[in-house]
Structure 1
Amino acid sequence: MTESNQLLFFFSALGAFNGFLLSLYFAINAKKKIFTNYFLSLLLLVLSIRIIKSVFFYFNPHLSNIFIQVGLSACVLIGPFLFLYLKSYRKDEKPNWTKHVIPYLTVITFLGIFYPYVEHREVWSRWIVKAIYCQWLLYIIFSLKYLQPIIQKFKEKESLKKIDVWLLSVYLGVTSIWLAYTTAPYTSYIVGALSFTFILYLIVLLLIFRNSTESTFFQEKEKYKNKEMDAETLNLIDQKLSIIVKKELFLNPNFSLEEAAKELKVAKHILSQYVNEILGKSFSNLIKEYRIEKAKKLLETEKNYTIESLGYDSGFNSKSTFFTAFKKITGLTPAEYQKSRSR
């Protein structure tokens, strides 16, 4: 093996080896009755099995067919474990892992026994592997549902929490590995393994920063310790906030905390502290409430508004954002609210 091939083998195998170690770490640190870490551990495990198979097959094409079959079979669980991991963060949904794992394990075991790779290599290459990658892609698409709150924050220019960045990184990492393998025929078979190593180390860095108490990387907003506001300041800001409503500054879809502070002639951090601590909400949620109040008035006085135009005239930049905010704040859809007021 040449020196360049040795380096290639080292870096491609390094990701798989560390993936196994991380899998073990998350499994050990998984809390009782909470499956989140277990799903992450199993996701890293099946990814590592798939990667290590790629590495050894690339450098040893005469690798045992049983080893190849195990590596390919592991792919069938990558998508489900990604889906279950992201879903486990939803408080309103309990991940039913059996229906996403047992059927695939049963099918792939059946195929392995009755259609082993060693005897049906062409069937595996032409049909089974393609089916596995399609299933992996479908779960990537299904998993996107659980990233919608994060995507919504992007649209509304809200700051992301550390856990948001973490989940997004895991999702994009798995998606990138799928893309690397599906495009391997046009690039190189080893690209998937190398991409896993690269992505794994990026995620490890995020994990380190996420758990660091000293780092400010992806830190959430500072809790204003030892910075209590005096009564005079509280009254002043309370009076000034009414200016936003009187001038209807919230009708600007891009109205931000910076613009509000400038308009009210208040320091940005003071305004932020007031909204967070005194009102108990984020600035973006406060503005949403102002916009919903405007929308409610329009619904009560106007009969021919469409939901889309109503949202825009209330300061929202999209129909979906308006509809979601209205339902969340009032508990009703705009149509239901209008109907209830007309009785």
Structure 2
Amino acid sequence: MLKSHLLFFFAGLGAFNGLALSLYLLWRQPATPAQRWLAALVLMLSIRTGKSVLFYFWPEVSKLVLQVGLTACLLIGPCLIGFVRAWADPQRRHTRKDPLFGWGLLALATGFGVAFPYADHVGLWAGAVWRWIQFGWLACLLVAGGLFVRATRQQDSHDAGDGLARGHVAAVVAGVAVIWLAYFTAGLTSYIVGALSFSLVLYLSAIVALAQRRKRRAAAPYQDRKIAPGEAEAALQSLHTLMAQEHLYKDASLTLARLARRLNMTPARLSQLLNDNHKTAFRQYLVQLRVEAAKGLLSTPDLVSMEQVAEASGFLSMSTFYTSFKKVEGTTPAAWRQMQLRSNADS
């Protein structure tokens, strides 16, 4: 009896807290697109989990509850994709119409439920629909993971990150994968494991978020201290000298922490130096240096291939090279090279 009560408490509390978290994310200002998608994702997971809890402890629960739970389960994967896409595209260049797709999918799922209610088509929902939802969820997980990996390779494209750190997004994708695995293997374990996995992921995420918040608060007094002008000038000179002599920016894997160690300062101090005294972020600073190096290679008489220019300048991929170069110079590397060639021919 005690074990049953504990299962109900932890599984049910996770579903309730998930609902509260989704409402908080929805109404918290400023509400970014990624935040809204995350709120929708947590809401769908909470409804799915709540349905599992009710069905596990009360098998005779209304078929409408089961239908709503499965409908929410159908939307988990698309909400995850929407979340990752919105995070990777904070300027909404390619994701403005994503919410329309989400609402359209919800309308289709609702229409299907009205046309084929669970109560009258138990075999359909418990069989084909359930399998379609499970494998559709898996497909969405794989797509979301691929989108995340592609976005992280384009390092300069999301310095802002839509208010979310890369690690947070990775944790969301991994957490949803854990929950899917728990439900997919429920036949080998127990149906309630899916609901418990959601509670576990939710509480672990909350603990990590609180720990990071305390860490930021502890570091805040030091971050608020302005670097003295003389000290900042000397530090910037050391930075520029190091980059000019050793060309560290050509290392595509260069991080803020590694560069800070070379300068004998903390990563937070170097970040503050760049932002406050050089008016640029670390990634933007690297991109500027890499673009200047690329321009030097493109200006030479030897027609070095674009792939060689990108690699020699420190860019991780051709897509990042083209995106960064156009962002800084307003034109593509190939077009810039042609302008240089014409200019040299005219002179």
**Is TM > 0.5 for Structure 1 vs Structure 2?**
yes
Report how far residue 263 of structure 1 moved.
5.7
1:117 corresponds to which residue? 118
SS state at 1:184 partner: coil
Mapped to 2, the partners of 1:203 and 1:132 lie a distance apart of 26
SS state at 1:185 partner: coil
SS state at 1:216 partner: helix
1:294 matched to 2:258:
no
2:328 corresponds to which residue? 329
What code does the residue aligned with 2:91 have?
Answer: K
Mapped to 2, the partners of 1:132 and 1:91 lie a distance apart of 31
| Segment of structure 1 superposing worse, 315-324 or 42-51 | 315-324
Contact 1:261 / 1:271 at 8 angstroms: preserved in 2?
A: yes
1:132 corresponds to which residue? 133
State the identity %: 32
Report how far residue 68 of structure 1 moved.
1.6
1:174 corresponds to which residue? 176
2:201 corresponds to which residue? 199
Q: Which runs of 5+ in 2 are unaligned?
A: 343-347
Contact 1:30 / 1:36 at 8 angstroms: preserved in 2?
A: no
Structure richer in helix, relative to its length: 2
SS state at 2:20 partner: helix
Please point out which of 54, 57, 62 is paired with 1:56.
54
Contact 2:48 / 2:69 at 8 angstroms: preserved in 1?
A: yes
Report the TM-score, using the length of structure 2 for normalisation: 0.77
| Segment of structure 1 superposing worse, 196-205 or 37-46 | 37-46
Mapped to 1, the partners of 2:4 and 2:329 lie a distance apart of 62
Report the TM-score, using the length of structure 1 for normalisation: 0.78
Contact 2:155 / 2:283 at 8 angstroms: preserved in 1?
A: no
What code does the residue aligned with 1:92 have?
Answer: R
Question: What is the aligned length?
Answer: 336
Mapped to 1, the partners of 2:111 and 2:192 lie a distance apart of 29
1:99 corresponds to which residue? 100
Alignment of 1:301-340 (within 5 A): 301=300, 303-340=302-339
Mapped to 2, the partners of 1:322 and 1:150 lie a distance apart of 14
What code does the residue aligned with 1:77 have?
Answer: L
Report how far residue 97 of structure 1 moved.
6.1
Contact 1:16 / 1:197 at 8 angstroms: preserved in 2?
A: yes
Which structure is richer in relative contact order (CA contacts within 8 A, separation 6 or more)? 2
- How big is each residue's C-alpha offset from its partner over 1:158-216, in whole Å with a ceiling of 9 and x where there is no partner? 99897214444333323332232233334432221111001111233345456x5xx11
What code does the residue aligned with 2:92 have?
Answer: D
Report how far residue 259 of structure 1 moved.
5.7
2:71 corresponds to which residue? 73
Alignment CA distance shift 1:100-1:237 (3 Å): closer
Mapped to 2, the partners of 1:217 and 1:338 lie a distance apart of 45
Alignment of 1:17-28 (within 5 A): 17-27=16-26
What code does the residue aligned with 1:58 have?
Answer: Y
SS state at 1:280 partner: coil
Q: Which runs of 5+ in 1 are unaligned?
A: none
Report how far residue 275 of structure 1 moved.
2.7
Contact 2:297 / 2:309 at 8 angstroms: preserved in 1?
A: yes
- How big is each residue's C-alpha offset from its partner over 1:227-269, in whole Å with a ceiling of 9 and x where there is no partner? 33243761574266234214434334444556656666x6457
Alignment CA distance shift 1:255-1:67 (3 Å): closer
Report how far residue 143 of structure 1 moved.
4.5
Contact 1:31 / 1:37 at 8 angstroms: preserved in 2?
A: no
What code does the residue aligned with 1:91 have?
Answer: Q
